[in-house]
Structure 1
Amino acid sequence: MKIQLPANSLNEVGGSKATTDRTTAGAVNTDAAAAPAASTGGANVSTSALSSEMRALQEALAATGTADIDVAKVAAIKTAIANGQLSIDTSKIADGLISTARDLLSAQSKS
């Protein structure tokens, strides 16, 4: 069985759109009003200004070393588990679950 290529090659699909043009060698265009690039066989990616700002903020956050997770606390918990020294207050967990359930039920009854 021989498979033949379709009449309209994938290279021709979407070539006229500036934001999806992937024909420039390794170029990354962050200008929202990007012009179509010349065909050289590489990749061109255009992003919006908001996307570029988000990437810059993520890089700045990563550079500061701050994160949503307290890495030192996680390491201390891992060590306590490994040494068999982790104590869990089950009544505190139960109180939290009951409190959450009450909040959800009261929010449901208000609507």
Structure 2
Amino acid sequence: MKIENTGKAYVPTPVQDARAPAARGKTEAQSGSDSVQLSPLATLMKKAESAISSSPEIDQKRVDEIRQAIAEGRFKIDSSRIADGLINSVRDMLESRG
């Protein structure tokens, strides 16, 4: 299938306001009856967001402990434990998707 240029430029048309003529002139402050209700999930997400934002992003004490262990040669990397953790997190994500 070949697409040809017809030479006509696409010019979008303005969208018409479908509200009644009397409602068009009102501003948000004038209407005053608008309200918003959040779903229980949105409320729960807001609480979780608040809890996350109030907790520190980095556990500096733990970082210092690991840094010290590396400096002293005590820090051991267990690659099988890391792999198991990655596999488990992928399983959790797949299960949560349904």
TM bin (shorter chain): 0.3 to 0.5
TM-score normalised over the length of structure 1: 0.33
- Which one has a bigger Cα radius of gyration? 2
TM-score normalised over the length of structure 2: 0.36
Richer in helix (by share): 2
